[in-house]
Copies of this chain bind each other. A is one copy, B any other.
């Protein structure tokens, strides 16, 4: 970093940010390991496309996201971020405060939006429709955001081109799977100081997040049960070596339950009533509504902090259930979030999506669009090159062969 100036993502956003030295060091640590972003910064971001753009970001703000904001700022953009470091530190931003921040971010009158869970795009359409004509496009980071955007598209109300950044291979294959897996288990192990090996862990949802959770839970010695609604995913989970069951079956077997569905109220009263004394619940999905926390609170005769990040709910029959960080995204709320290298890839996707929108949004129709495949591949190639990993190259004979079909070819 050497002469890295003081972090200052934008005149606008700076109001909410006061970085402790620990935070400064964390951002510098990110910069030392974000090889792909650093390389793409030189090759793409600083080509002038972002100069003067106004970018609104909804994001879990911590060291890695701060680094993305700073890179965009350095590339000439004005950046406003909702979800400030301050808010993150308190973990207590209530809905009203978060809503206020998100709307405040929109006051920037952004050209470009980096969204997380469709928070900004939905508010733009519902609460600030007058700003829509100025927005060139948005990029969406999460599975749950994509679900909401699809619902908007189905209803015919989506007025913007949105890059489905989450669908980029360099994003969901890595971030949702390996990132969620490692960081959620780290949060679980740090918060509880309990042994994973020999535990029965129930993973609810076998999308990309669920796969990562199941993979590393097993890698750490747990017996894993997967709960799924989709028959093909369920069959995959079974063939991957996991037990597959409904949550009603699994509720009484599990020691630890992790939700990762993108849906709502997947662990409900009927399941909580079946759980073993000492069962631990946590959420790896984007929103804090996968576990029905109000039902849990209502069932409890007593409630207290059992350990940092862990609330104990004593049930009428004496069973104690433990909930991490009130059902919020555990890897963010109880730990440092995704590993740096994962965000290096995810934010390379976001950064190039925004860069692409800055140049080509006018050519896109409203609706969801994939990140162009060649951009996705370039991110992977860049990262491999920086890691010193060699790809095989196709020969001319092979290229011709793959385009032929005749049996005597």
Contact = CB atoms under 8 A, between A and B. Distances in A.
Interface of A: 22, 25-26, 28-29, 32-33, 63, 99, 118-119, 122-123, 126, 147-149, 151-152, 154-155, 169-170, 173-174, 178-179, 182, 186, 189-190, 193-198, 204, 216, 218-223, 227-232, 234-236, 238-247, 249, 262-266, 278, 305-308, 320, 335-337, 339-342, 376-377, 380-381, 383-384, 387, 389-395, 397-398, 401-407
Contacts of A398: 263-266
Contact of A307 (B26, B223, B262, B376): B26
Given A149-B405, A190-B186, A263-B394, A223 B243 contact: yes
Contacts of A337: 193
14 contacts: A126-B407, A147-B402, A151-B404, A170-B232, A174-B236, A198-B238, A219-B220, A219-B221, A229-B392, A230-B391, A231-B380, A246-B390, A247-B392, A265-B398
B195 A397 contact: no
A174 B170 CA distance: 24
Given A29-B307, A403-B154, A341 B229 contact: no
A265 B394 CA distance: 10
Counting every copy of the chain, the complex holds 4
Given A119-B407, A336-B190, A380 B234 contact: yes
B190 A25 contact: no
Contacts of A405: 118, 122, 148-149, 151-152, 155
A331 to B, nearest CB: 11
B33 A194 contact: yes
A340 B204 CA distance: 26
A342 B337 CA distance: 27
Query: Which interface residue of A123, A234, A397 has the most chain B CB atoms within 10 A?
Result: A234
B241 A197 contact: yes
B407 A123 contact: yes
A178 B195 contact: yes
Given A22-B308, A186-B186, A221-B239, A404 B193 contact: no
